[in-house]
Amino acid sequence: MNIVKSVFLTSIVIFSAMQAHSQLEATSASAVATNDDGTKDEMAKEVKEAFLHSWKSYMTYAWGTDALMPLSKKGHNWYKTSLLMTPVDAYDVMIIMGLKDEAAEAKKLIFEKLRFDVDMDVQNFEVSIRILGGLLSAYELDGDEQFLKLAKDLGNRLIKSFDSPTGMPYRYVNLMTGKTRGNISNPAEIGTYIIEYGILSRHTGDKKYFETAKRAMVALNKLRSPLGLTGSQIDVQTGKWINTSSHISGGIDSYLEYMLKAGILFNDKEMTEMWQTSLASVNKYLADEKPSGFWYGHADMNEGKITATSYGSLDAFFAASLALGGDLKHAEALQESNYKMWMLYGIEPEGLDYVKMEPTSPSYALRPENIESTYYLYQFTHDEKYTEMGKTMFRNLVKFCRNDVGFCALKSVKTMEKEDEMESFFLAETLKYAYLLFDDGKSLDFNKVIFNTEAHPYRR
């Protein structure tokens, strides 16, 4: 057995309803999942069943495409040629869940069909976290050199995006020609590469990947405001901020996450220091204690005063980062707020005004962050209240999002109207974190890995 594989595989309601909102109370009460006592083993089985339900439909209706459309029962591609988003993103979940036959069919499909020598512009960030990230965790878990070969080929194409005057990457790169576009970018799409690139350096022995990704993060870090905050949009050619709104939401989120995780994964002191100084500013200017709970809001990077009490499903990742960074007190408080957000309607909204406790964007994209943070909090506290949270969240997912084919995003958590979409991160992240929460470390030892932002685990 491959050495890496053996390392992995052998180890391999505090719900307080929003009182102020009477209409909401009625909705929430009916939205809460029934409280039958699923044991953790039973819950893990339910999650595995949900995975199989979705995967089988992908194979039946969407084979070879990027993702399943669960209402129209067909597949769709992001670009003119499929990058096999779903099988690549979901491969490591199959290994973790012990689904050998499914893993074998996914692997066959990937090795037969996945090619990167295609004349098309791809979004650097998404392809890096899902495809490069997925291939690398597949390699670490499975040991087949073909995964590494594909990862190296893709890495050599994506790395051309960093060829800008500041060293910060463009948003799009053509896989065949290396031509770039999209100079107006954001911290997440600039600073979410060091884990994948660092792991590629680990396995190829070529430091250029790690160094290129790190250079971009350091360049961005130097452009913080005197308050230590980053804005939300920047020109990678000039280094000039285009939008100075600061927050932990989508567009900045995983940049913060990667400082912390790269510090741990690569024992990189500069990254750890960047995380600590950024966190201090985030806590000083964006943390917001309100009657509805502990949250993080939005502020101008130069003013540092909360301008919008906006939170949302993507922001929920931060409880996991706080826990991993050692601040359990704030992590627990934030997870309590995350859960309130989830239980407002029974499924969390994409955007929430945390003062009014009203959705600013009512959709739900099957996002993982809330369940991810529940899993992290359980790892650090071993408090079964997190298992209970996870159980309710997962059961509500089944209740409101499942259909005869797979799981559907929701147009609105107020009406629970389904959308014809099942993003690959639902399998790669949402179901993986739910499974890991219930399986009590039997398939994967939390302390031996660091997950990329798409939930792909790499050996520490």
State the catalytic residues.
126, 253, 350, 369
Smallest gap from residue 371 Cβ to ligand DMJ (A): 11
The stretch among 27-35, 363-371, 375-383, 388-396 that binds ligand DMJ (CB under 6 A) is 363-371
How would you list the strands of the sheet with 241-243, edge to edge?
A: 184-185, 233-235, 241-243
Judged by CB under 6 A, the chain residues 203 through 262 that form the site for ligand DMJ are 254
Number of chain positions touching ligand DMJ (CB under 6 A): 10
Q: Please tell me the distance from the alpha carbon of residue 258 to that of residue 239, in angstroms, as a whole number.
A: 20
Other beta carbons less than 10 A from residue 177's beta carbon: 12
Smallest gap from residue 442 Cβ to ligand DMJ (A): 24
- Output 336 or 454, the one with its CB closest to ligand DMJ: 454
Contact map string, positions 79 to 118, toward ligand DMJ, x by CB under 6 A: ----------------------------------------
- Of 92, 454, 456, 457, the one binding ligand DMJ (CB under 6 A) is 454
- Assess 134 for contact with ligand DMJ (CB under 6 A): no
- Of 425, 435, 438, 458, the one binding ligand DMJ (CB under 6 A) is 425
- Assess 349 for contact with ligand DMJ (CB under 6 A): no
The stretch among 171-179, 269-277, 366-374, 409-417 that binds ligand DMJ (CB under 6 A) is 366-374
Q: Please tell me the distance from the alpha carbon of residue 52 to that of residue 2, in angstroms, as a whole number.
A: 26
Contact call for residues 383 and 366 (beta carbons, < 8 A):
no
- Output 82 or 453, the one with its CB closest to ligand DMJ: 453
Smallest gap from residue 29 Cβ to ligand DMJ (A): 28
Report phi then psi at 337, rounded to 5.
-65, -40
Q: Please tell me the distance from the alpha carbon of residue 57 to that of residue 63, in angstroms, as a whole number.
A: 9
Contact map string, positions 163 to 202, toward ligand DMJ, x by CB under 6 A: ----------------------------------------
Q: Please tell me the distance from the alpha carbon of residue 135 to that of residue 285, in angstroms, as a whole number.
A: 38
| Spatial CA neighbour of 415 closest among 343, 347, 316, 342 | 347
Smallest gap from residue 36 Cβ to ligand DMJ (A): 29
- Of 453, 456, 457, 458, the one binding ligand DMJ (CB under 6 A) is 453
Other beta carbons less than 10 A from residue 242's beta carbon: 14
In terms of Cβ atoms closer than 10 Å to its own Cβ (0-12, 13-18, 19+), residue 100 is exposed
- DSSP state letters, 122-172: EEHHHHIIIIIHHHHHHHHHH--HHHHHHHHHHHHHHGGGG-STTSPPPSE
- Of 330, 340, 367, 395, the one binding ligand DMJ (CB under 6 A) is 367
Dihedral sign for Cα 22, 24, 26, 29, please.
negative
Q: Please tell me the distance from the alpha carbon of residue 32 to that of residue 120, in angstroms, as a whole number.
A: 45
327 contact partners, CB below 8 Å, separation of at least 6: 279
In terms of Cβ atoms closer than 10 Å to its own Cβ (0-12, 13-18, 19+), residue 134 is buried
Q: What angle do CA 102, 105, 107 make, to 5 degrees?
A: 105
- Output 288 or 369, the one with its CB closest to ligand DMJ: 369
- Output 439 or 454, the one with its CB closest to ligand DMJ: 454
Contact map string, positions 279 to 318, toward ligand DMJ, x by CB under 6 A: -----------------------------------x----
- Output 102 or 429, the one with its CB closest to ligand DMJ: 429
- Output 142 or 348, the one with its CB closest to ligand DMJ: 348
- DSSP state letters, 160-208: GGG-STTSPPPSEEETTT--EE--EE-HHHHSS-HHHHHHHHHHH--TH
Smallest gap from residue 91 Cβ to ligand DMJ (A): 16
- Of 368, 390, 406, 457, the one binding ligand DMJ (CB under 6 A) is 368
- Output 97 or 252, the one with its CB closest to ligand DMJ: 252
Smallest gap from residue 367 Cβ to ligand DMJ (A): 4
Residues that bind ligand DMJ (CB under 6 A): 129, 254, 314, 367-369, 425, 429, 453-454
